[in-house]
């Protein structure tokens, strides 16, 4: 039995006295409700239905982040069935283990924990709603919380302010289990614990706000002095070419993972969202063309996804493209959404992790510096690059991998592997070999006599 009812749980972070709208998802269909009518709407829905409520409140009936008015809760969605630590435990045992983990790692404990039927929802109630102006800071808190619970199956693709989470008192349609509140942090006053947003930031974020402000002032002072200022480096690719290569990387990723029958359940939505975004960048902004291209990709790689689900997942992306406001995703966001592992990143062309990006930048800086060096410095640097190339080759990397990692062409790698650095010892050895007399010198007179006899005859 749940500790909180549907209406009680939602009322903890949605105040009926405020203005705004909330998205309510009933059996997969989204509806909109004014905050003042939310209690009546939820009360009229049978408990056997699958109901989800948006965690944020919006100015108008559009669940885009741009329309967010405020949010009064931070949360983490745990897919416990994907965690080796939790998948064999009951929901109550999972909660006890997570609370011990919070205490050991000095993570602020959540205000309450819900069971979603197949996982857990950890929620931190806030004393005051966070306005849209502070959304960036709230997103940083969400990212740090998701990273903290990564080993316990935190879904990093489900931490945005427009997210709908399944409500308690309803049932998960995938297994028919009841969604319920398992644990609540009740204080001595009898009220559920709430966190001030700044206190939660101090506890969760790695850097304090005062330090960030100091760093910003320092960067601003440095930027005001035009000394050694370098222009921002770009990858030299147009957005269309970049997204075309990212789409090819997604096909490569599907082959690496061996998904011959299509993307499995649990990964389809994120793959389709990224693919649809890539298609909007590479296709004319025509509604029919975009829809057909996305349908073709879905049939090829997500054959088990119904057309209604495809439309639901990509409707907002297509609308933004038609309106001229194309959606953007960075490499870090794509890696989180697709859960790309380091060994998979090495086989992709354009989706690059932070470590590889840092290494590429370091190598490019070396190559630019080489053009400014004298001959002696250039030869010393070239010798270091040859040794580094030989080391990578001895470690079993292919020529193509070495070229990709070192930021050069395949022919350059082959040239470095075939060329041998001539050392001082090599020169001395060659001189000794040239000055050494042959052991056949004693037979010279005999050989000359035989040659003369043969000529006379």
In this prediction, residue 407 has a pLDDT band, given cuts at 50, 70 and 90, of confident
Whether 325 and 366 share a structural domain: no
Judge whether 52 lies within some domain: yes
Based on the fold, state whether residues 279 and 368 are members of the same structural domain: no
pLDDT band at 17 (very low <50, low <70, confident <90, very high): very high
Classify residue 423: in a domain, yes or no. Answer: no
Angstrom distances, CA of residue 454 to CA of 44, 205, 441, 457:
122, 97, 21, 5
Do residue 160 and residue 178 come from a single domain? yes
- Identify whether residues 362 and 330 lie together within a single domain: no
Considering the domain architecture, whether residues 92 and 185 belong to the same structural domain is answered as yes
Ranked by mean pLDDT, the top range of 25-29, 119-123, 158-162 is 119-123
Are residue 147 and residue 266 in the same domain, yes or no?
Answer: no
Domain identity same for 166 and 266: no
Reference 364, options 400, 408, 309; nearest CA is 408
Asked whether residue 232 is assigned to any structural domain, the reply reads no
In the chain, pLDDT over 90 holds for what percent of residues? Answer: 34
41-45, 99-103, 173-177: which has the highest mean pLDDT? 99-103
* 409 has a pLDDT exceeding 50: yes
pLDDT digits (tens, 9 = 90+) for 324-369: 888 888 888 899 889 898 888 888 888 887 777 777 677 777 666 6
- Which of 223 and 129 is assigned the larger pLDDT? 129
Q: How many domains does the chain have?
A: 3
- Residue pointed to by tokens 């996305």: 294
**Could you report the per-residue pLDDT of 373-384, keeping only the tens digit for each?**
667 777 787 888
| Residue 422 pLDDT > 70 | no
- Cα gap 57→14, rounded to integer Å: 8
Residues 74 and 186 in one domain: yes
434 assigned to some structural domain = no
* Whether the predicted pLDDT of 226 surpasses 50: no
Kind of pairing, strands 51-54 and 120-131? Answer: unpaired
Burial environment of residue 159 by CB neighbours within 10 A (0 to 12, 13 to 18, 19 or more):
buried
The structure tokens listed for 195 are: 């966190």
Tokens read off for 152: 């316990």
Q: How many CA atoms lie within 13 A of 337 on its CB side?
A: 17
* Nearby residues of 78 by Cβ (< 8 Å), 6 or more positions away: 86, 98, 119, 120, 121, 122, 149, 152, 153, 154, 155
| pLDDT value for 371 | 62
Mean of the pLDDT values across residues 86-107?
A: 93
- Round to whole Å and give the CA distance between 307 and 10: 31
Does residue 227 carry a pLDDT above 50?
A: no
pLDDT higher than threshold 90 for residue 127: yes
- Residue where one domain finishes, among candidates 204, 231, 251: 204
Residue 340: φ, ψ to 5°? -80, 130
Q: Which of 313, 350, 427, 340 minimizes the C-alpha distance to 63?
A: 313
Assess whether 142 and 26 both reside in one domain.
Answer: yes
Range of the domain at 274: 239-345
More confident residue, 135 or 409: 135
- Asked if the model's pLDDT at residue 438 lies above 80, the reply is no
304 lies in the same domain as 376: no
Distance CA 278, CA 230 (A): 31
Do 170 and 48 sit in the same domain of this protein?
yes
Question: Last residue of some domain: 291, 317, 345?
Answer: 345
Q: Which two tokens stand for residue 301?
A: 């790689």
Report pTM.
0.58
Instruction: Please report whether residue 304 resides in a domain.
Output: yes
* CB 388, CB 367: distance < 8 Å: no
69, part of any domain = yes
Q: Give pLDDT, residue 228.
A: 39
One domain for residues 28 and 120: yes
| Top-confidence residue, 170 or 452 | 170
């Amino acid at each position: 039995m749940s500790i909180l009812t549907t209406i009680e749980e939602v009322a903890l972070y949605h105040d009926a006295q405020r203005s705004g709208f909330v998205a309510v998802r009933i059996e997969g269909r989204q509806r909109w409700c004014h905050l003042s009518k939310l209690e009546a709407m939820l009360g009229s829905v049978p408990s056997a239905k699958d109901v989800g409520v948006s965690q944020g409140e919006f100015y108008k009936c559009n669940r885009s982040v741009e329309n967010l008015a405020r949010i009064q809760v931070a949360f983490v969605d745990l897919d416990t069935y994907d965690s080796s630590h939790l998948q064999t435990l009951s929901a109550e045992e999972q909660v006890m283990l997570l609370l011990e983990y919070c205490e050991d790692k000095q993570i602020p404990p959540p205000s309450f924990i819900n069971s979603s039927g197949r996982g857990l929802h950890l929620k931190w109630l806030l004393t005051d709603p966070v306005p849209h102006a502070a959304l960036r800071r709230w997103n940083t808190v969400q990212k740090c919380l998701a990273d903290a619970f990564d080993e316990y199956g935190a879904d990093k693709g489900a931490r945005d302010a427009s997210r709908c989470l399944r409500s308690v008192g309803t049932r998960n349609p995938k297994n028919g289990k009841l969604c319920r509140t398992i644990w609540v942090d009740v204080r001595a006053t009898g009220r559920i614990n709430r966190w001030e947003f700044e206190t939660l930031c101090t506890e969760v974020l790695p850097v304090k706000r005062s330090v960030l402000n100091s760093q910003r002032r320092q960067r601003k002072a440095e930027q005001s002095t035009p000394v050694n200022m370098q222009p921002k480096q770009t990858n030299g690719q147009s957005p269309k070419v970049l997204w075309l290569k990212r789409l090819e990387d997604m096909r490569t990723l599907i082959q690496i993972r061996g998904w011959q029958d299509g993307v499995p359940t649990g990964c389809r939505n994120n793959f389709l969202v990224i693919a649809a975004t890539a298609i909007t960048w590479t296709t004319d902004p025509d509604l029919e063309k975009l829809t057909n291209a996305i349908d073709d990709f879905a049939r090829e790689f997500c054959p088990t996804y119904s057309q209604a689900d495809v439309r639901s997942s990509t409707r907002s992306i297509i609308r933004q493209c038609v309106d001229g406001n194309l959606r953007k995703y960075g490499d870090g966001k794509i890696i989180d959404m697709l859960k790309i592992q380091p060994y998979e990143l090495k086989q992709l062309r354009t989706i690059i992790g932070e470590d590889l990006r840092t290494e590429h930048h370091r190598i490019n800086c070396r190559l630019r510096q080489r053009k400014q060096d004298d001959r002696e410095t250039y030869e010393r640097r070239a010798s270091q690059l040859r040794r580094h190339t030989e080391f990578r080759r001895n470690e079993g990397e292919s020529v193509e991998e070495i070229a990709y990692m070192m930021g050069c062409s395949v022919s350059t790698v082959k040239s470095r592997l075939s060329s041998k650095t001539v050392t001082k010892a090599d020169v001395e050895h060659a001189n000794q070999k040239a000055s050494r007399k042959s052991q056949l010198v004693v037979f010279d007179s005999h050989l000359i006599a035989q040659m003369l006899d043969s000529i006379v005859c």
